[in-house]
Amino acid sequence: MIDLNQIRPDGHRARIGVIAPQTNTTNEVEFNRLAMALEKGGVTCHFTRTPLHSHAADDDFGDMLADIERAMDDLRAFSASVSVFGCTSDSMACPADLLIGTMQKGHNVPAVSNAGAILSSLEVLGVKRLAMATPYTEATNTHEASFLERHGYEVVHKAGLGLNTDMERIKLMSRVLPKEVFAHAKAADRPEAEAILICCTDFNNIDVIAPLEAELGKPVVSSNSVTFWAALRALGLDDTIAGYGRLLEGNYILPATTIS
């Protein structure tokens, strides 16, 4: 018989609030799977959405930041313990002080961006050279590689699937089969790469991380795995999660030099 005296409310340790693009159907699923895999439990994930901003810099990120401010009203409404911006390309485009500043305006809790989480994960794993696998066009890959290189990382190879050309093709990102993501990421690897980065929070890849690490013998991180890890650590939670790669399995903490 269940002892109701021992049951705590869902989310009693933390409620992670996430801002995801409107078309994204993977971020929410993968975050909730990771939350359910926590041995200590007590962490829930709650999502709101904003439009995609393919050319966010054209108005100095004005429209993008205005949409984020509106989305933050949703996260404030349920008192999110940490706020997360779950879009790789937009978080790499928008200056961190503008993005995180907007997320924290009137909401005095930690804020995490996907771009900052990627940088933090590479730092704690001791990686400097990496290969990058994405569902993106070469132009988007070049933009993201430039972001990483500006922060001291060498992208030795990048490979995309060219899916972010229009709204209908963007919706195909989450439909790529895990076995195809595995093959794509494996093909992107190079001997000199110290790790594989799988970019895009709408790219279905959480199940390929551990198999890729076993086959390639190097760390594999994804947009969603690093951001969930960074959200936990930003809250001071030291939980580890088995089965989803060495970053989540290890006792890594956020570096002091974290760039959000």
Indicate the burial class of 22 (C-beta count within 10 angstroms; 0-12, 13-18, 19 or more).
Answer: exposed
Counting the structural domains of the chain, the total is 2
pTM over 0.85: yes
- Please tell me whether residues 196 and 144 are part of one structural domain: yes
Instruction: Find, among 112, 111, 122, the residue nearest to 198 by Cα.
Output: 122
Instruction: Residue 61: name the closest of 111, 108, 101, 18 by CA.
Output: 101
Per-residue pLDDT of the chain (260 residues; tens, 9 = 90+): 777 777 778 899 999 999 999 999 999 999 999 999 998 999 999 999 999 887 888 999 999 999 999 999 999 999 999 999 999 999 999 999 999 999 999 888 999 999 999 999 999 999 999 999 999 999 999 999 999 999 999 999 999 999 998 989 999 999 999 999 999 999 999 999 999 999 999 999 999 999 999 999 999 999 999 999 999 999 999 999 999 999 999 999 999 765 54
Q: Could you give the C-alpha distances from 212 to 45, 112, 156, in angstroms and in order?
A: 26, 26, 18
For residue 157, being part of any structural domain is answered with: yes
Domain match, 109 and 231 both = yes
Q: Is the residue at 71 inside a domain?
A: yes
What range defines the domain where residue 173 resides?
A: 117-222
- Judgement on whether residues 235 and 174 belong to the same structural domain of the protein: no
Task: Classify residue 259: in a domain, yes or no.
Answer: no
Q: Assess whether 183 and 108 both reside in one domain.
A: no
Does the residue 65 lie in any domain? yes
Cα 60 to the center of its chain, rounded Å: 23
Clarify whether residues 94 and 129 are in a common domain.
no
Residues 179, 214 within the same domain: yes
Secondary structure (DSSP) of 12-49: SSEEEEEEEETT--SHHHHHHHHHHH-SS--EEEEEEE
Tell me how far apart the alpha carbons of residues 157 and 17 are, in angstroms, rounded to a whole number: 33
Q: How far apart (Å, rounded) are the C-alpha atoms in residues 104 and 106?
A: 6
Do 74 and 144 fall within a single domain? no
β partners of residue 154: 129
For the stretch 23-45, pLDDT in tens is: 999 999 999 999 999 989 999 99
